[in-house]
A and B are shown apart, each in its own frame.
Chain A
Amino acid sequence: MRLKFIEEKIAKGFMIIASLAVFAFVVNIIYTIFRRGIPALNWAMISQIPAGGYYNGGGGGILNAIVGSLYIVLCSTILGLLISIPVVFYLNVYLKKDSRLAYIARLAFDVLFGIPSIVYGAFAFTIMIYLGMHTSLGGGILVITLLIIPIFIRSMDEVAQQLPKDLLDSTYALGATKLETIKVVLRQIAPGIATATLLSVGRAIGDAAGVMFTAGFTDSIPTSLNQPAATLPLSVFFQLSSPNADVQDRAYSAALILIFIVLVISILGRLITNYFSKHKI
């Protein structure tokens, strides 16, 4: 057999092994969470806040953490989109391809992308101390927004950089100003916005380090931005840290709820994006 066909077979073998390894890894995680989480999952867990001594095996649920996480994720996603879209639009429509400012901005976003969330948390915590703020829902939203903005910008920017020049030219040729091209640009990069949103939601809902310093943790549901808020990852962490095996199992139930929320948001995101990107050229 010729060498190039042998190479092809070996390479294909590696690809299959790599794909199976990833698949096995995912299945293993999901299996573990289901195996330990399903028996401990009950209606009280998602409908009640922790009763006294919950983390030592007492009654109640983690509604506080579910609501806290949803508040933080939804608010920071909306804020993140509102801040990131103008940045991406400016980088790709207003600045020229070889603009130095665009180059520096992209480099900065790459650096921000790689900064661990604990650093964001510590940074935000320092500012909060300076401003005399307490750990609060508002602080959590702020730090998670900062955390996901680079994800939003880099993912949308990758798609926006592929915007066909002819598309912008065609819009300008109708007498559009740069700002008036936004409707065209947003529709064209809708799949990129969806991917960015899914990545950001995943990161935002799963982050524990950033919110630990800023949102704090509480057994009650926050009713204002000034009150501390519980989050699911921290709830999982506290339950897993318990010496009580039943409480540890509840941590897996909480993880299951976390995954379910991410799944629902992902499916919704896909449906919304499919609707808006059906016209993409």
Chain B
Amino acid sequence: MKSYPYQNPSRATWAEDYSFLNNDINNDEGLAFNKSYLKVKDLNLYIHKAHILKNVNLEIPDKKVTCIIGPSGCGKSTLLKTFNRLIDDTEGIKYEGSILVDDTDIFDKKTEITDIRKKMGLLSQRPCPLPMSIYDNIAFGCKMHGERNRKKLNQIVEEQLKAVGLWEEVKNRLHAPASKLSIGQQQRLCLARGLAVEPEFILADEATSALDPISSKHIEELFVKLKQDYTIILVTHTLRQALRIADHVIFMYLGEVIEAGSADEIFNNPKQELTRKYLEGAFS
């Protein structure tokens, strides 16, 4: 693994512990060939009179892990929640510009908000299982979208629990409350629940920050595995995590996208002074 000039040595060592992830962080090839299904054009977002996101222009590469990094309050989570319009419920919200998903503007009045959200699986900071059984957590979304066939539902539950590596751990207690699972298992269940409605994207908002190191590792492994089928957008506070799993990195500061590019470019050769300083740990 290469060393990263703007990371301190202990971080690089820590990253090497995760070499099992076999990440192609330094392998820029492929990024250019991945079509982007998620494009942000001239996005400005205001909450009351505060200008939260400033003229954001982005393209998120398809079937890759994109990490949004930046100091606290820079608008990372706001941007993520704008992708599936969960931000809509915020009082005094106003936005300009557009976000295109499969060439459909998600802000267009004709766009069904539920369709947009169904395309974007969400993994929040703290695992948030629904107040139901493990089985119903997965089946809930499918039932809501009209799947009633019990056999089919059983199959989906099993498939998705297998996809997140939870099946063996819970197959004998599928009807037990989801709240009884450990916090790491809950987070994997939430991921499986999101995958069950067949999204195209997975939005993860600091999805490992509440987890223990082993559970975090599980989730990171899953992201790397799942990027074959899904576009993963991950907001993270942990540079080491971005270093381990990101293919594409977006650096934000005070609501602006300062720099975006392949992980290799950003970590090895940042073009902006601000990015360089952030990676050096001058501010966080």
Contact = CB atoms under 8 A, between A and B. Distances in A.
Contacts of B178: 279, 281
Interface stretch (B58-66, B125-133, B245-253): B125-133
Nearest to A185: B131
Nearest to B186: A281
Contacts of B203: 173
B122 A167 contact: no
Contacts of A223: none
Contacts of B122: 169-170, 173
A98 interface: yes
Nearest to B203: A173
B25 to A, nearest CB: 28
Contact of B124 (A96, A169, A177, A184): A169
Contacts of B38: none
Interface residues of B, number: 32
Contacts of B91: 96-98
B144 A281 contact: no
B115 A173 contact: no
A184 B118 contact: no
Interface stretch (B29-37, B102-110, B189-197): B189-197
B131 A175 contact: no
Given A98-B91, A169-B122, A279-B133, A174 B128 contact: no
A280 B131 contact: yes
Nearest to B129: A281
Contacts of A184: 130-132, 140
Given A175-B141, A188-B131, A280 B179 contact: yes
A279 B176 CA distance: 8
A280 to B, nearest CB: 5
Contacts of B118: 174-175
A279 B177 contact: yes
B128 A167 contact: yes
B84 interface: yes
A278 interface: yes
Contact of A174 (B89, B129, B197): B197
A14 B115 CA distance: 59
Contact of A175 (B125, B179, B190, B197): B197
Interface in B153-197: 177-179, 190, 193-194, 197
A38 to B, nearest CB: 43
Given A96-B89, A96-B91, A278-B177, A175 B117 contact: yes
Most interface-central of A96, A97, A167, A175 (chain B CB within 10 A): A175
Contacts of B121: 173
B114 A187 contact: no
B132 A173 contact: no
A3 B126 CA distance: 42
A173 B194 contact: yes
B145 interface: yes
A175 B147 CA distance: 14
B140 A174 contact: yes
A171 interface: yes
Interface of B: 84, 86, 89, 91, 114-115, 117-118, 120-122, 124-126, 128-133, 140-141, 144-145, 177-179, 190, 193-194, 197, 203
Closest A-B pairs by Cβ, 10 of them: A175-B118, A173-B122, A174-B141, A187-B131, A166-B128, A279-B131, A279-B177, A175-B114, A170-B128, A281-B179
22 contacts: A164-B128, A166-B124, A166-B128, A167-B128, A167-B130, A170-B122, A170-B130, A171-B130, A172-B86, A173-B120, A173-B194, A174-B141, A174-B144, A174-B193, A174-B197, A175-B114, A175-B145, A177-B114, A184-B131, A184-B140, A277-B131, A279-B179
